[in-house]
Amino acid sequence: MFFLEGKFVIKKYNKKGSHISFIISFVIFVSFLIFFIGIIKPLEKVETGKSSLLKHLENEIIEDVSDEVLVVSALEDAGNVDCSNIRSLSSKKVKTIKDDVFFKFYFSDEFTNDFQCDATKDYEIGRVRTQNYILESKILKLNENYNVDYNNLKNNLGIPEANDFEFSFLDDSKVIITEAKSKETPPTEVFAELVPINYLNKDAEIKTGYLRVAIW
């Protein structure tokens, strides 16, 4: 409605045209939204799949480089147990950690045999436990297997034929101790994770470090 020469004039708008314009705009918007979702969803599925595979690889490697270790605590010049009693607790190789009169014996075939015990003295056995440890020696063996027979290791770890992987073992300063690295440059996006770990070194000392796993 507007005023013209003393008269009010009512202008009629084309409601039908407005409705059609609205419908066309809505259809364009919905079409764009469907197109956008069609692109994003497959990418989300790929990333989710790779993330799950990366977690699988991490779990498989940690399981492969871990082993049960029998840990025996003992006190020298106390009790009525001799060295032979301690040694008979396991047939596996043993590594000894000594701190004055306090002893810890770590039994595992992953160690070189180092049984330190004074046969002229008696001992009191304290805590005896079996614990699962990540072992440095097993990490080094896994690295060797990667370089010697990659395809067999890949199959044992349950990695699909279409994917490849690598890993590295770092100390607490993130300096690489050993690295199983692919000889070829990955052709696609690489999914990687740095996992903090505690492990036993060759001297049965508990250390902190990192395991880096990558897959593409």
Which residues fall within 8 angstroms of residue 73, CB to CB, at 6 or more apart?
102, 103, 104, 125, 126, 127, 128
Q: Tell me what pLDDT residue 104 has.
A: 97
The token pair at 180 is 């199983």
Domain ranges for the chain, please list them. 57-64+136-215, 67-132
SS3 state of residue 178? strand
Q: Tell me what pLDDT residue 188 has.
A: 78
Q: Tell me what pLDDT residue 21 has.
A: 66
SS3 state of residue 182? coil
User: Would you give per-residue pLDDT tens digits along the chain (216 residues)?
Assistant: 544 455 555 555 555 556 666 566 655 655 555 544 445 444 444 456 689 999 999 999 999 999 999 999 999 999 999 999 999 999 999 999 999 999 999 999 999 999 999 999 999 999 999 999 999 999 999 999 999 999 999 999 999 999 999 999 999 999 999 999 998 888 778 999 999 999 999 999 999 999 999 999
Q: Tell me what pLDDT residue 43 has.
A: 42
The CA–CA distances, whole Å, from 94 to 33, 108, 159, 202 equal 66, 6, 35, 11
Report d(CA 182, CA 158) in Å as an integer: 17
Q: Tell me what pLDDT residue 61 has.
A: 98
